[in-house]
């Protein structure tokens, strides 16, 4: 069962994220949303003590939001690796093939 549990949100939308009740959502930001797709970043907590930042993508199918992708960042070192990798690839993003 997917149920949203939120403490507070930075989102402009008041709708709760469709995140498993296993996690406690501490804060979140919606990046993109339309009738079919929803992308958000959330600060989540599991087991009452482990925090991570999760990037989610959901697809609206069969009348409900279903998780399509999830990517966790568990600390500053991991974030720096991700950030540096993205920055390395960004200049190649719009180049012709």
State the CATH number of the domain containing residue 79. Answer: 3.10.450
Is residue 13 assigned to a domain? no
Two tokens, residue 19: 């995140």
Nearest-CA neighbor of 26 among 5, 39, 44?
44
**Helical segments of 37-75, H only:** none
Is residue 19 assigned to a domain? no
DSSP state of 97: -
Is residue 58 assigned to a domain? yes
pLDDT at 6 over 70: no
Task: Tell me which residue range forms the domain holding 58.
Answer: 24-92
Classify 49 as helix, strand or coil: coil
pLDDT at 9 over 80: no
Two tokens, residue 48: 């009452």
How many structural domains does the chain have?
1
Two tokens, residue 73: 């960042």
Torsion of Cα atoms, 50 then 55 then 59 then 62, to 10°: 10
Q: pLDDT tens, 26-47?
A: 999 999 999 999 999 999 999 9
Is residue 5 assigned to a domain? no
């Amino acid at each position: 069962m997917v149920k949203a549990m939120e403490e507070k949100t930075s989102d402009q939308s008041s709708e709760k994220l469709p995140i498993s009740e296993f996690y406690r959502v501490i804060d979140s930001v919606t990046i993109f949303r339309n009738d079919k797709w929803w992308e958000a970043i959330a600060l989540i907590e599991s087991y009452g003590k482990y925090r991570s930042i999760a990037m989610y993508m959901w697809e609206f199918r069969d009348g409900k939001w279903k998780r399509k992708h999830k990517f966790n960042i568990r600390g500053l070192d991991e974030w720096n690796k991700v950030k540096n990798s993205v920055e390395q690839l960004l200049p190649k993003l719009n180049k012709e093939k």
